[in-house]
Amino acid sequence: MRLVKISDSFFGECKKRGTESELLYNENGRPSVLLVHLKYKGNIHKFVVHLRSNISGRTPRSQYFSLPPNKNTKPGHSHGVHYIKIFPIKDMYVENYLISEPFDLMVKGILDKNEKIIIDACQNYLTQCEAGHKHFMTPDIDGILSWL
């Protein structure tokens, strides 16, 4: 599990192919969590989950892994790994994310310490998606896989 950025070319391809719905765009190099070797519909793929600054206070805790608030987190909201925003990725669209700020180092440490919890939760969510229980805010996993 690593903190990464997703290239603008990935988002361009999604837009070109009509699979951009519910993706969270880069916004100045938004950090994402790269998860490898998750199973979806019988195959192993790489997946990415964005870190989100403003997860609604009404969002069930089962949908995200909470992190300390960052500078953009609004009162009553959470910062974290929002499992329902998971999408597949290929290495060619993954860029390094420079971890230089103390906050980023702290977040990376929390993610590393809780890697198994995060991976298990993402795998469980993908299993729900396979069973037809995909949240309406989940990106088009099947559409993206069709052109990756």
Q: Quick check: pTM over 0.85?
A: yes
CATH number for the domain whose boundaries are 2-147: 3.10.129.130
How do residues 118-142 score in pLDDT, each as one tens digit?
999 999 999 999 999 999 999 999 9
Domain segments of the chain: what residues? 2-147
Give ∠ CA 97-101-107 in degrees, rounded to 5: 75
CB 75 within 8 A of CB 89: no
Ramachandran angles phi, psi of 75, nearest 5°: -55, 140
How do residues 73-121 score in pLDDT, each as one tens digit?
999 999 999 999 999 999 999 999 888 889 999 999 999 999 999 999 9
Cβ neighbors of 96 (< 8 A, separation 6 or more) are 4, 5
